[in-house]
Structure 1
């Protein structure tokens, strides 16, 4: 009887703890708020030409560094351009840049991760060492170096960021492939004569997609910050096109006399990156059954 009690207590000790109700509420609230904000941002980017009250590149020398008023909702910058209109027009450029960078990262990282995990041997070793080498450098420093090779501009800078982020995808996919190739259903398909390509595309890749979806959402936030950093340094979106990072760079020079010019792009970058991160963390919980309690 005593042994039975000890065994029951031992079994109870390893049960996962239930998530507190307040935490579940806050997690769901954060998920819906972040999702709602991102949907709003996408709609804002689509309808920017009809929402923006002024042309974002129109300069008004007589209205330089004006505070917020009825005509200029967020004031004007050092060239007399409406900050509110530039903020709205910066949304599609920011989303385009972040999505392009993540697409490039997936197009490079997915195949290399699958090849490394499925092939093994010297191919896996070569790809893994390359991935480790790239991950050893600070991402923004490596992105600046690649941008210097490709040339300045938003498209080139986002391709550079995508190249820098591709090792993260490759490492994740390689790990999932190593697990998948040892699964019983993969062995069964191999016994029935399935080719390596069929095994990868039909059986291994679908099971590796879920963690990739979560990682992609988190990378969107990182790509947003990287795009803002490169634009701040003058390597991303080029004038006179509006970019949140470029707006911060111009407002930085007038921080003492017009500090409010930094608030709008800074808050937009912060809230958007935080929303992507919150969405990614919630997707991780939704897609992973062990985290749902």
Structure 2
């Protein structure tokens, strides 16, 4: 009786599927591929650190006056010179960064808190609610944002917080209209209709399906609005409607330096460039995020 030998084929190892990289790896890959985003994010990170550490890294107290050193040019003792009251410009610039960032994030936060829920609600409900609220939003948008902010500031009272609440109210209709348009698109998607067929509640549909898939354009809008809020704070402080003396703000520093532009023009450079670079950084970061979230853009 002959033995029958059965040949068993060697087990072949299937190639391992590449797993998606963790979020942190994709984040660093995005920064490596987009130098504009990397530079903007690095600048804004340094600005936030400077604002938080201003009490420790500022060479002088921001309101310390030295009447013997009025409108001094940059020197070893005062790297960016002094203002018309002998106060160190660098110290006031660092403390002003705190007010500038606080103002920008406060205004945009108020706009998001009001605009996003209203936009989702009117887009999801539709009907006469959508029609009525859309007309109200269009009516508010007919007013220039800065004029509306000045009017609300006059009603609430002068001060940084009140000024940024006014700017936030001006932002809310823009975000509401953006969110409404996205909600109208997403709520007709097949997965939303399927969830409705399984008996999902309205709140579940909004929180689980509509909001996460409609929020991307709002994220881009928010980064761009941070730059607008920064400029609005500088403009309102320039008009003495924002940060009140002796507190430091970039707009207030520009307002004081404007009166001495012929005597000490260098005093306008520091706050002016700080406003310019910060607004450009927010805009560049927003544009990079828009490209990153755009599914039609090819990335290597």
- Deviation at 1:36? 0.8
Match of 1:162 among 164, 168, 175: 168
SS in 1 for 2:40: helix
CA deviations 1:154-188 (Å, max 9, x no partner) are: 10001100000111110111011001110111111
Tell me the CA shift for residue 130 of structure 1: 1.3
Would you say the 8 A contact 1:98–1:220 is kept in 2?
yes
Query: Is structure 2 residue 141 aligned with structure 1 residue 135?
Result: yes
- CA RMSD, aligned part only? 1.5
Query: How far apart are the structure 1 equivalents of 2:120 and 2:31?
Result: 38
What per-residue deviation string (whole Å, max 9, x for no partner) do you get for residues 93-114 of structure 1?
1101100000000011011101
Alignment of 1:32-181 (within 5 A): 32-181=38-187
| Contact 2:32 2:38 survives alignment (8 Å) | no
Which residue in 2 is equivalent to 1:190?
196
Q: Does structure 2 conserve the Cα–Cα contact (< 8 Å) formed by 1:285 and 1:292?
A: no
Return 5+ residue gaps in structure 1 as ranges: 1-23
Does 1:247 find its partner at 2:214? Answer: no
How far off its partner does 1:27 sit?
A: 8.2
Tell me the secondary structure at the aligned position of residue 290 of structure 1: coil
Which region of structure 1 is more displaced relative to structure 2, 152-161 or 128-137? Answer: 128-137
Name the SS of the counterpart of 1:94 in structure 2.
helix
Deviation track 1:75-105 (CA, whole Å, cap 9, x = no partner) reads 1101110001000111111101100000000
1:259 and 2:265 aligned: yes
> Residue in 2 aligned with 1:4?
none
Alpha-carbon distance change, 149 to 25 in structure 1, aligned in 2, over 3 angstroms:
closer
Give unpaired runs (5+ residues) of structure 2. 1-29
Equivalent residue number for residue 17 of structure 1: none
Cα 1:231–1:27 shift into 2, 3 Å: farther
- Once the 2 structures are TM-superposed, how far is the Cα of residue 26 of structure 1 from its aligned partner? 12
- Residue 211 of structure 1 pairs with residue 217 of structure 2: yes
Question: Hey, what does 1:281 align to over in structure 2?
Answer: 287
Instruction: Name the CA shift for 1:27/1:153 in 2 (closer, same or farther; >3 Å).
Output: farther
Q: 1:123-175, CA deviations, whole angstroms, 9 ceiling, x for partnerless residues?
A: 11111111111112111111101111111101000110000011111011101
Match of 1:272 in 2: 278
Larger Rg belongs to: 2
Do residues 231 (structure 1) and 240 (structure 2) align?
no
Contact 2:124/2:184 (<8 A) preserved:
yes
Q: Report if aligned partners of 1:27, 1:282 keep a CA contact under 8 Å in 2.
A: no
Q: In the alignment, is the contact (CA less than 8 A) between 1:286 and 1:292 conserved in 2?
A: no
**Deviation above 3 Å: which 4+ runs of structure 1?**
24-27
C-alpha deviation, 1:63, in angstroms: 1.1
Report deviation, 1:240.
0.5
Deviation sequence 1:7-49 (CA, Å, 0-9, x none): xxxxxxxxxxxxxxxxx99982222111110111011111111
Structure 1 residue matching 2:262: 3-state secondary structure? coil
> How many residues align structurally?
270
